[in-house]
Each structure stands twice: as structure tokens, then as C-alpha cells.
Structure 1
Amino acid sequence: MSTASDSKVGSMDGGGVRRATATDLPLLPAVEAAADERFAAMGFPPLPPPGTCESLAASLFVLVAGDPPVGFARVEVVDGLAHLEQLSVHPEQQGRGFGAALLAGAFGEAQRLGYAEMTLVTFADIPWNAPFYARHGFRELHALTPGLENLRAKERSLGLDAMGRRVVMKRTSR
């Protein structure tokens, strides 16, 4: 991940979407943890702990919204495809377009880097999960690559499937 770039990759009311800097990375686990509290309010058991600065830095790229960041998108590579590993917006900032801007920015940045497709894994029936992604061009994927199968197996071992139905989704630029 290039953390030296502070270039904007999108714009929106209240701040642009840009590449994360090394200064941003330590702030992102707290944004993710705060966003995960929304699941706890629905009666979910605790989700896996947020990513670390080291895991964020090892990503293909991380985009942030706001300065200081109020949300972020973390993109990895799985089986040669861009994979949205995490999209989090602080609950105090949700509903203001940051998630949509981060998603559009992440897909655009992946395309700029040569990735025509993006995958993700999410809860199927939570409005700000699969229905949100479907509104932004993602469709449920039924035939999984080995890497996506491995991700799903890891999620099952973490107990995520016991919390709700999980789906793999993909968006294609074509």
C-alpha cells in the first residue's frame, strides 16, 4: 500500500476520499470498532477484532474519508481480483454518503490499478450490508474461487455464519 500519496480519488460533501497516509492508519481500528457497535446493538455477539496498523499497511490500498478519517475502505487481492476486505464508517457519520463515496472510490482506484472486478463478503440481510452493495452494482456470486472459499471457511471458523447468512458479491466494470 502506498501511504505517501495524499491524492484525492473522489469528492463529496463533508470531505473527499483519499489514499490513507501513515498518520491515518493508527486511527482506523477505532473507526472499525465503533462501526461494529451497530451490530452489537442488534444483538450480535462481538465481531472479530479490528485490523491492525500492520495489516492495513499490507493491503493493496486503503482509502479514507475525512481528515481525521471518519471512514475507510481496505482493499486486498484475492485470486487476482480486488477484494473489499473492510468498509467502515463511524456511526456518528453514517447516513451522510461516506460509505457510498468510499465504495465508489475503492472500485475506481481498483480499476485504475488494472482490476476490472471487485469482490466482497458480507451479511445478506442487513440493510447496510448486501442490500447496500447491490444498490452499487454488486451481485451475489455463487461459484467461488479457491481464495474466496478460504475466506468463507475462515469466517465460518470465526462464527460469523452463526450471526446471519453470509454472501460473496462481485462487481464488474464491464
Structure 2
Amino acid sequence: MEPEDADELVEVSLAADTLFADAGLELPPDDPREMLGHVERVLVAVAEGRVRGLAATVTLDGTTHLEQLAVHPDHGRRGIGGALLEAVCADAADAGRDRVTLTTFRDLPWNRPWYERRGFAVLPRAEWGPDLARQWEAEETAGIMVRPRTAMVRALPVR
């Protein structure tokens, strides 16, 4: 991410959120700039000279945690999200991390099932670290839990 990408990243994030509304989920208002202000790394997908997707990560419990993956709906179903997810996993492995975690909606087809097809599995609560537990609580407080959610993990190859 470059500083000049911020406006387009906000546009992509807000546009991606419309998919949830289309699925009947009423999420609390979101200012993507807040997320951009606290994440450690943002990978972007650029097509035709414009940002079309983003993957934002933080470190939780010593591992890479995918805070947000968003693709502009006008550019969905073209492999952008999968490419960003693979880039996050490669980046984490290059940094010596052995896994990537995330939280997502359990029953939306482009959430848990999509991640499962890409090597993620449900992470039982008993295996959460304290940072992931705090992340879950923060999402509850923010009002994101409008539909069942789950935590997931993908093991990475040791490099």
C-alpha cells in the first residue's frame, strides 16, 4: 500500500460491504480509515491503474491475522481475493510464521466456505490465544456479530 492508495482502498472496502447488505446483514457503519490506521500491512490488487482489492493484516498471538480481505464487487469472481489471500500466506511464511488466522461469518458462501476451499479450518476456541480472544471481543463490541461467526486458521509450510 502506498499513501496515495488510501482513498481507493476506502472505496473498495465500502463497496465490498454492500455484499453483506445484499445478503440481508445489517452491519454497523464502518470507517475503513480506522482499520487502515491500525493494521500493520496492507496488500493491494491493482487492475487498470486502480485499486480493486485489499488484504489487511495484523499480528495476533505471534501469528499473522487477516483483519480484512475486500474486493470491489465490480471486480469479484476474477481471482483477486484468492490472489490476495495467497499473497498474505506467502508473506506470513516469508516472515517465519507458521499460520494465518482470521474471523469471518460462518454461513455466508463467500466467507467460511470460501476460506475452507483455500485451506483454512475452523479454529476451536480452546486453541485461541489471548490476542485472538480480544479481537473476537472487539468485534462483538463493534456490533459485527449480526450473524454467526467463526475463527479460522491455515497452517503454513515451514520455510
Q: TM-score, normalised by structure 1?
A: 0.82
Please name the residue that 2:104 is paired with: 122
8 Å contact kept, 1:25–1:57: no
Q: Structure 1 residue runs of 4+, over 4 Å off?
A: none
- Where does the alignment leave 5 or more consecutive residues of structure 2 unmatched? none
8 Å contact kept, 2:27–2:144: no
8 Å contact kept, 2:25–2:147: no
Q: How far 1:131 sits from its partner (Å)? A: 0.6
Q: How far 1:148 sits from its partner (Å)? A: 0.8
Q: Distance in 1 between matches of 2:122 and 2:23?
A: 24
Instruction: Tell me how large the CA RMSD over aligned residues is.
Output: 1.5
Q: Distance in 1 between matches of 2:148 and 2:35?
A: 26
Please name the residue that 1:61 is paired with: 41
- Where does the alignment leave 5 or more consecutive residues of structure 1 unmatched? 1-19
Q: TM-score, normalised by structure 2?
A: 0.89
8 Å contact kept, 2:27–2:143: no
Amino acid of the structure 2 residue aligned with 1:38: L
Please name the residue that 1:155 is paired with: 139
**1:50-108 deviations in Å (ceiling 9; x for gaps):** 421x6425433111111311000001101111000000000000001000000001110
Question: Which protein has the bigger helix share?
Answer: 2
Please name the residue that 2:153 is paired with: 170
Please name the residue that 1:14 is paired with: none
Q: How far 1:47 sits from its partner (Å)? A: 3.7
Corresponding residue to 2:91 among 105, 109, 114 = 109
8 Å contact kept, 1:31–1:89: yes
**Secondary structure of residue in 1 paired with 2:139:** helix
Please name the residue that 2:72 is paired with: 90
Amino acid of the structure 2 residue aligned with 1:138: F
8 Å contact kept, 2:58–2:66: yes
Aligned residues with identical type, % of pairs: 37
